[in-house]
Amino acid sequence: GQSRAISGVGSLLHQLAGPGGSVLEVGAGNGRLAHFLNRDGGPVAGRVIATDALAGRGFIGSFGDASVIAQPQQLSHDEAVATHAPTVVVSSWMPEEDWTAVWRAQPSVRAYVVLGECDGGQSGLPWETWGVRPSECFGAADADLPPPPWLVGPEPAADVVPPFQADGWARLGATEPAVAAVTRWMVGQGDEDTPRGNSTCATVFVRG
């Protein structure tokens, strides 16, 4: 259920942040995730700051839900990490652009958690965010579709490492069931029982 999922996410964030670390949610929308983490997130309760670039401008609902659970601070993701200097950053359904380079450049950040479709789905960018070459995300089955903007341009060379790896970070993988569960709860996304490419998941990146 919801409480169990939130507790699991809270435990993971606490493990990443440590006892005195802070947790920042960027792109928080209506503040739902941060609200429940602060209420039911166990060791991380009361330590999550919610921010969103459009908070306070009417764009605070999601998927038809216009209610405001907790008013996020009106800050873009880069303004938020510079202002709060968090230990851990969490983002749910990042748009199809890369925010993570800014987080890695912030010295205080030890880890970040991306919730949503991974590896070239609808969160972030294949190469810049996930370290997956764009051609691996657009196969023969997609040939009748217009190519996405991130497919235009040269492919990274075979010997080039992903940006997060070049920056000294490691990707831990999407193996935390509780975090995937809370993602599905937030967006009403029902994935198949068998994991697949681009499935809804949580992925953790840590500073090396």
Task: Give the pTM.
Answer: 0.83
Maximum Cα–Cα distance for the chain, whole Å? 51
> What integer pLDDT is reported at residue 192 of this predicted model?
43
Which letter does DSSP use for residue 129 in this model? Answer: I
71 CA to centre of own chain:
19
Q: Which of 13-22, 39-48, 59-68 has the lowest mean pLDDT?
A: 59-68
> What integer pLDDT is reported at residue 107 of this predicted model?
98
Q: Provide mean pLDDT across the span 113-132.
A: 85
Q: Provide mean pLDDT across the span 72-99.
A: 95
pLDDT tops 80 at residue 129: yes
CA distance 149 to 119: 16
pLDDT tops 90 at residue 163: yes
* CB of 74 closer than 8 Å to CB of 50: no
27 CA to centre of own chain:
9
**Residues 5-17, buried b or exposed e (16+ Cβ, 10 A)?**
bbbbbbbbbbebb
- Using pLDDT thresholds of 50, 70 and 90, give the confidence band for residue 196: very low
Q: Which residue has the tokens 């790896």?
A: 165
pLDDT in tens, 184-195: 555 554 444 444
- Using pLDDT thresholds of 50, 70 and 90, give the confidence band for residue 14: very high
Beta strands 200-207 and 73-74 are: unpaired
